[in-house]
Amino acid sequence: MASKSRAHVAIIGAGLSGLRCADVLLQNGFQVSIFEGRDRIGGRVHQTQLGNGFWVDMGPNWIHGTTGNVILDLALQTGTGIDDIDDVSCAFDEAGHKLDAAESVKYETIMWEMIEEAFAYSATSEAEIDPKKSLMDFFKQKVPLKIPDGEPNAEAKRKTIYHLCETWGSFIGSPVTRQSLRFFWLEECIDDENLFCAGTYRKVLQHVAGAALNKANISLQTIVKSINYNKDTTGNVTVRLQDDTSYEFDEVVMTAPLGWLQKNKTEAFDPPLPASLATAIEAISYGCLEKVYISFPEAFWRAKDGQPEVAKGFIQWMSPSYHPERNASRWPQVAVELSSLGPEDAHPTLLFYTYGEQSQQLTSELAKRSDKKEKMDLIVEYFRPYYSRLPNYTADAPSCQPSDCLATEWLNDDLAGNGSYGNFQVGLEQGDEHIRTMREGLPDQGLWFAGEHTAPYVALGTSTGAYLSGEAVGERILEKYEQ
């Protein structure tokens, strides 16, 4: 085995996990080469500018939990704006009528109580929960207890709560009917509140990438074709690129997204991955959370000259029945309004989250349109039935006409694994063990795995988890060379 100062480590992917891993290794004297398929660093941690000049995140928007969260520390250190998005939402019923504020708070409080109960039940009773049970099954058991038969209009209230519970899918990137109750505890985040990264992840990314940009050999627009990790015979790990050139390394860290691994695990590794690792990669589900930004000349939904004001923060349109052309399945709609962020970060924009079949429908339609105006026209057609329900909307008012639209298309992105973020769906029987198997990797053969799908259990599927997974692999490689 080479000495630490001479050991050469390849990192596949320049996302948050790869950059943090490189940082740890470079600080400890290793040589590091990074292969990145895109023409930029960051992976899903990527930003772009809207027409109003404001930067927005195409990947993670949130900092999940505040207790000991390194991403929060980095946000504060870099002067990144963060905001506590108000939990009190503006909610619309299935007919598009705005719920009374007090009624909305009541229903949302019940939902969050059930979420907390589901986390606790999943964590303490995992072994006895049927793998086929979903989070929605749990809600259906609890809602009648929250709204007993004797309460006036009990059935109507329960129906509204069920519709509200469906919007939880925007938090996990998957319909609640497919969310595993048994492994719901794996969705729980670091303690305390979730914060919105109002200033975007741009400064955090620059900070994390500093060491790699200064000291690593970074090859952009370079796609890895395969990895030969049979160190028992060669003594090295061979990385073969798409152009068939190859390079040898002492260790290789694979940070490709879970979806990419699922699509390429057979061709990308020689010899084939052990059955336990291949099974683990295939068993964890890969999500399809997408984001849509719609900007306006001004935030017409905010109070002005005595007009009513929408509740700040989340806006929810529950099981809408009024848009059959584009939403015959009545997918719930969830948005965060960004005009009430801090003074430096606020702009008149609605951020919609889509997931599941709706994301598949929207991204497939966007893929058919190469022109920006055509994409914008589709987005307006798709979401106007919802934002037009907001207070103070007037169809022909200039302030109510979108000035710019932008949508992510991770489902159309091969390097992203045609999706975004691992999750845990019904039928899963060994979720935590599969995560542990991927996290362990094949260190004796010089092949390591990092990414949000190998993170600590309290940070799975988050930017914090990606960062910590890269850090952990870097520290394990360091430990290997210090033995």
CATH number of the domain residue 238 falls in: 3.50.50.60
Of 414, 436, 467, the one marking the end of a domain is 414
Residues 165 and 298 in one domain: yes
pLDDT of 250-285, one tens digit each?
A: 999 999 999 999 999 999 999 999 999 999 999 999
Query: Rounded to an integer, what distance in angstroms lies between the CA atom of residue 61 and that of residue 46?
Result: 10
Beta-strand (E) ranges in 31-99?
31-35, 47-49, 55-57, 62-64, 90-92
Is 69 part of any domain? Answer: no
The answer as to whether 77 is a domain residue is no
- State pTM to two decimals: 0.96
How many Cβ atoms are within 10 Å of 242's Cβ, its own excluded?
11
Q: Are residues 336 and 369 in the same domain?
A: yes
Pairing mode of beta strands 285-286, 422-423: antiparallel
Say if 112 falls within a structural domain: yes
Q: Pick the last residue of a domain from 383, 414, 445.
A: 414
Say yes or no to pLDDT of 93 above 70.
yes
Number of structural domains the chain divides into:
2
Domain hosting 304: range is: 83-196+289-414
Same domain, 169 and 153: yes
pLDDT for the residue numbered 88: 61
- The Cα 14–Cα 38 span in angstroms is 9
Mean pLDDT value across residues 81-98: 88
189 and 207 belong to one structural domain: no
Please name the amino acid found at residue 264: N
CA distance 320 to 292: 18
* Residue 403, both tokens: 């000035």
182 contacts 129 by C-beta, under 8 angstroms: yes
Q: Do 306 and 387 sit in the same domain of this protein? A: yes
Domain boundary, last residue among 363, 390, 414: 414
The pair of structure tokens assigned to 27 is 């600080």
Question: What stretch of H or E contains 196?
Answer: strand 194-196
- φ/ψ of 434, rounded to 5, equals -65, -40
Whether residue 65 is predicted with pLDDT greater than 70 in this model: the reply is: yes
**CATH of residue 382:** 3.90.660.10
pLDDT > 70: what percent of the chain? Answer: 97
Which among 333, 308, 309 is positioned nearest to 322, based on CA atoms? Answer: 333
Residues 275 and 378 in one domain: no
Together in a domain, 191 and 323: yes
Query: Mean pLDDT for the chain?
Result: 95
- The average pLDDT across 16-21 equals 98
Residues 114 and 122: beta-carbon distance below 8 Å? no
Question: Is residue 201 exposed (0-12), middle (13-18) or buried (19+ Cβ within 10 Å)?
Answer: buried
Same domain for 185 and 87:
yes
DSSP symbols for 407-418: E--GGG-GGGTS
Rg from Cα positions in the chain: 23
Q: What does the pLDDT look like over 404-425, one tens digit per residue?
A: 999 999 999 999 999 999 999 9
